[in-house]
Amino acid sequence: MKFILASDIHANLPALEVFFDYIAGHELSGAPVYFLGDYVNLGPFPEECIRALRDFPGRIYLAGNHDRYVVNERSLDHNPYFGSPDGVIHSRWTRDQLSPESLEWLRGLAIRHQFKAGRYLVDMIHGRHGSDEETLDDGILSEGGDVIYACGHTHIPRYLAAASAWIMNPGSLGKPLDRDNRAAFGVVTAEEDRVGFEVIRVRYDIERTVRALEERDVPWRNGIIDSLRTAVYLDEE
């Protein structure tokens, strides 16, 4: 079985469109796509991205921490994830851009999803079990059991294997943070005698996203722009 993992779009429509084009043009259109959260915040196109996702036949859409910040005002109170009040202002700006239908879509997202891929259990979550603001601990691999753990959140691709368990993180479609500013997603192959994971990188029009951040006067945009271009975490999240 082959399936696709995509995560952390962050309201970056040009990156999302390139992803759709790539899978349609590289014989991946028949592979199911699983989205691991963070569709909004840190980008200028929250409504456009959600509309595009709602029209796309994704197999599952999980919730991420930034999706939660937008739909749950209480999660913004004393939130240590933001280093300054600008993060709260940005989340409220994002919420104001969304239609009632898109907000309802975000509220209805699942937190965790599991399914069987042959003899493997695939266990998907945005961050780690019990927290959408942290990532899976490597120690979970010691449990074995033919489990493929899929997560996002860190914006950095990751592939770990030990015993009979794997951790797979496809990185970020819309805001990579591994010094490679190309959009990233992952392709998982789960065969009876082999598990494989390939991270695919695709160039997109970063400056189109930058122009929209500026033209739409998006709060918190300076740090976001620098981070989009450099793919380095700049303490704006």
Tokens 């981070």: give the residue: 227
Pairing of strands 165-169, 158-162: antiparallel
Cβ atoms 7, 174 nearer than 8 A: no
Q: What is the pLDDT of residues 216-230, one digit of tens each?
A: 999 999 999 999 999
Stated as kind and residue range, the H or E segment containing 34 is strand 33-35
Domains and CATH numbers, the chain: 2-230 (3.60.21.10)
Cβ atoms 70, 41 nearer than 8 A: yes
Cβ atoms 195, 189 nearer than 8 A: yes
**Angular region, 220: left φ>0, alpha ψ -120 to 50, beta rest:** left
115-139: b or e for each residue (b if 16 or more CB lie within 10 Å)? eebeebebbbbbbbeeebeebbeee
Alpha-carbon distance of 127 to 114, in angstroms, equals 15
Predicted local distance difference test score (pLDDT) of residue 105:
98
Alpha-carbon distance of 149 to 29, in angstroms, equals 23
Q: What is the pLDDT of residues 9-57, one digit of tens each?
A: 999 999 999 999 999 999 898 999 999 999 999 999 999 999 999 999 9
Nearest-5° angle of CA 117, CA 53, CA 107? 90
Cβ count near 66 (within 10 Å): 30
* pLDDT confidence tier of residue 236, bands split at 50, 70 and 90: very low
Q: What is the pLDDT of residues 122-171, one digit of tens each?
A: 999 999 999 999 999 999 999 899 999 999 999 999 999 998 999 999 99
Alpha-carbon distance of 3 to 69, in angstroms, equals 29
199: tokens are 């991270």
Q: Is the pTM of this model over 0.75?
A: yes
Q: Is 99 helix (H, G, I), strand (E, B) or coil?
A: coil
